[in-house]
Structure 1
Amino acid sequence: MRYPIIAGIDGTEASHDAIDWAADEARLRRVPLHLLHAWLGEMLYAPAGWEVERTRDAGAEALRAAAERAGAHHPELEITTDLVDGYARDSLVTASQDADLLVLGTRGSGGFSRLLVGSTSLHVSSHALCPVVMVHPSERRAAEDRAAEGGVLVGVDSEQHSAGVLEFALAAAERRHWPLKAVYAWSNPRPDSSGPEFPSAYREDQLADAHERRLLEMLADARRRHPGVEVTGTVERAGAAQLLVALSEVHQLVVVGRHGTVRGPMRRLGSVSQAVVQHTHCPVAVVPVD
């Protein structure tokens, strides 16, 4: 069975960039593109006096325009649409059960669209059962301008937590013929103020060497599985989120894992993933690892 790539659309500029990114990815994966618009939440943004039916009709028109846009770029693509009588966050999470990937634009709120990702995007990236790619307005075009500088940037920590994240990043790089850079950020363990002085095993040089060996082992396996991808890695004593955001300026896609989650309605993004989602300079993929 071919699971589709699903793009959540709302007719805004953020949605247009997400459609373009999703259509490109669906073509590369050779899977259908499914465009979904859940219109009930749009009542919050509708002009005063708009009736429910008018808002629903506007959603149907947005879907039609989105399908036309995607088809114009990729006429060979199988495209379907769905106008859902529901709210976007719930509808997209439900749809993620049968999707290869969700792609969202990030219409922010409060007047800070570049720095404040909308609550729907954050909720979906925290709860979706498949990876989620979020594309800030105009960032797709800016990322393409950086094509000669860098490809996929992926944050890794341990082999246990990073295997799926690294595989997603490698596959993305391979499909688009981009290089991949893996970043392993670390910091000294916090000492117990009431305990003894750090043992020698925790000296900075020993920690750095251990992290370097761990990353080299992960990347050696990655190169074996994806020999066509140019793979490099770096180990830095730094905050992971700050480092990934800074490096995103010269990359076209950042990939992070969804860590720190719990089951049920309180599931959330970990602090690193949330910071990267909010501040990255290129599209970002959040890959569930739990």
Structure 2
Amino acid sequence: MPRPIVVGLDGSRESLAAADWAAEEALLRGLPLRLVHAWEGLPSDAADLPELDAPRHWAWRILRTAMDRLHEKYPQVPLSGDQIARPAADALVTANAESELLVLGSRAFSGIGGFMAGSVASATVAHAERPVVLVRAGTTTEDERLPDAAGRPSAVTPHRAVVVGLDPANSCEELLAFAFECAALHTAPLHVLHTWQLPYMPAAAEAKARWALRGAATRRLDRVLGPWREKYPGVELHALTEEGRPAQRLLDVTKDADLLVVGRRMRPAGGLGAHTGPVAHAVVHHARCPVAVVPHP
């Protein structure tokens, strides 16, 4: 049975945008879509308390309204919905483990506040075993595509580029597999960005060192991408090696992107806590396009 695409709902504009994005992706991939609304609630022995009627009704309304709306817009997508009486982050991490990918709403340019923009999203991304995509409010089909010949938004023009940030020194199989598959499904160009930085040195040596470092970075990236070029010959691939800090360069490159893909290193069993990593943390809070965070060893 195929894994579904899962959406975390909280009734916000961000989570509704995430639901639309996820439905389009489910349609493209031929996968079912599952909506999840997590409500911790109270123990079962208090389930009949009158004071629970209002929050219970609101929780059901969030789920039912989203399901009705998506069923009308995407009747071809198999759709299901669940209310889960657990803390939101725990419920979403569990749902992620059973999904093809998890999609959450995320507020732009903010690291705090909001159900899906703050601690819940951060905890979910930091503990997820499978990819998580974060989508901004107001994201539309037209945003994912190039403007038409007159410069107007269009839902039928080619997709904008998928961008993936890559460090060839680390494991990147899962990251590249996700990025290439997205580019192939969307018939979009794929830009693979590897950054490098010039260490401190006398000014007289900088030009030669910069030339050498750029050449070495290009060769490393070409070696990693060689097998993927053969596996996905139909993907328009652009290998980019640029000087600078990874997060800032990724934000620069993705100003007009369809999707940004970054990795998150999973800590081994027994490691202390979980983390997102500085690059993923920065782009999740500041990128304008949807961001996919892909866990890898």
Q: TM-score range by the shorter chain?
A: 0.7 to 0.9
Cα distance, 1:178 vs. partner?
0.9
Task: Give the TM-score normalised by the residue count of structure 2.
Answer: 0.83
SS of alignment partner, residue 171 of structure 1: helix
Cα distance, 1:38 vs. partner?
0.4
Alignment counterpart, residue 161 of structure 1, candidates 152, 166, 171 = 171
Cα distance, 1:216 vs. partner?
1.6
Q: Match of 1:288?
A: 295
* 2-structure distance, mates of 1:185, 1:124: 27
Q: Match of 1:37?
A: 37
Is 1:268 the counterpart of 2:275? The answer is yes
Q: Match of 2:235?
A: 229
* 2-structure distance, mates of 1:152, 1:25: 14
CA contact (8 A) 1:254 1:285 kept: yes
Is 1:241 the counterpart of 2:251? The answer is no
CA contact (8 A) 1:261 1:270 kept: no
The change in CA–CA distance for 1:103 and 1:160 in structure 2 (over 3 A counts) is same
Cα distance, 1:112 vs. partner?
6.9
Cα distance, 1:58 vs. partner?
0.9
Cα distance, 1:118 vs. partner?
1.7
Is 1:151 the counterpart of 2:161? The answer is yes
SS of alignment partner, residue 54 of structure 1: helix
Cα distance, 1:145 vs. partner?
5.2
CA contact (8 A) 1:139 1:281 kept: no
Cα distance, 1:21 vs. partner?
0.7
SS of alignment partner, residue 276 of structure 2: coil
Is 1:65 the counterpart of 2:65? The answer is yes
* 2-structure distance, mates of 1:109, 1:154: 20
RMSD of Structure 2 on Structure 1 (CA): 2.8
Q: Match of 1:179?
A: 189
SS of alignment partner, residue 171 of structure 2: helix
Partner AA of 2:244 in structure 1 = A
Cα distance, 1:70 vs. partner?
1.7
Q: Match of 1:196?
A: none
Cα distance, 1:217 vs. partner?
2.1
- TM-superposition CA deviations, 1:124-177 (whole Å, max 9, x none): 111111100000111345633546583201001116422211110110111111
Partner AA of 2:211 in structure 1 = D
Cα distance, 1:245 vs. partner?
1.1
Partner AA of 1:128 in structure 2 = A
Segment of structure 1 superposing worse, 270-279 or 56-65: 56-65
| Residue ranges of structure 2 left out of the alignment (5+ in a row) | 42-49, 148-157
* 1-structure distance, mates of 2:140, 2:293: 16
* 2-structure distance, mates of 1:243, 1:176: 24
Task: Give the TM-score normalised by the residue count of structure 1.
Answer: 0.85
CA contact (8 A) 1:100 1:131 kept: yes
* 1-structure distance, mates of 2:83, 2:288: 31
CA contact (8 A) 2:159 2:186 kept: no
SS of alignment partner, residue 3 of structure 2: coil
User: How do residues 69-84 of structure 1 correspond to structure 2 at under 5 angstroms?
Assistant: 69-84=69-84
- TM-superposition CA deviations, 1:235-276 (whole Å, max 9, x none): 011111001112221101000000374655610110001001
* 1-structure distance, mates of 2:162, 2:110: 30
**Equivalent pairs: percent with the same residue?**
36
Partner AA of 1:286 in structure 2 = V
CA contact (8 A) 1:261 1:269 kept: no
Segment of structure 1 superposing worse, 53-62 or 182-191: 182-191
Structure 1 residue ranges (4+ consecutive) displaced by more than 4 angstroms after TM superposition: 107-114, 145-149, 260-265
* 1-structure distance, mates of 2:145, 2:4: 28
SS of alignment partner, residue 203 of structure 1: helix
User: How do residues 47-196 of structure 1 correspond to structure 2 at under 5 angstroms?
Assistant: 51-107=51-107, 117-140=117-140, 143-144=143-144, 146=146, 150-158=160-168, 160-188=170-198
Residue-pair matches, total:
273
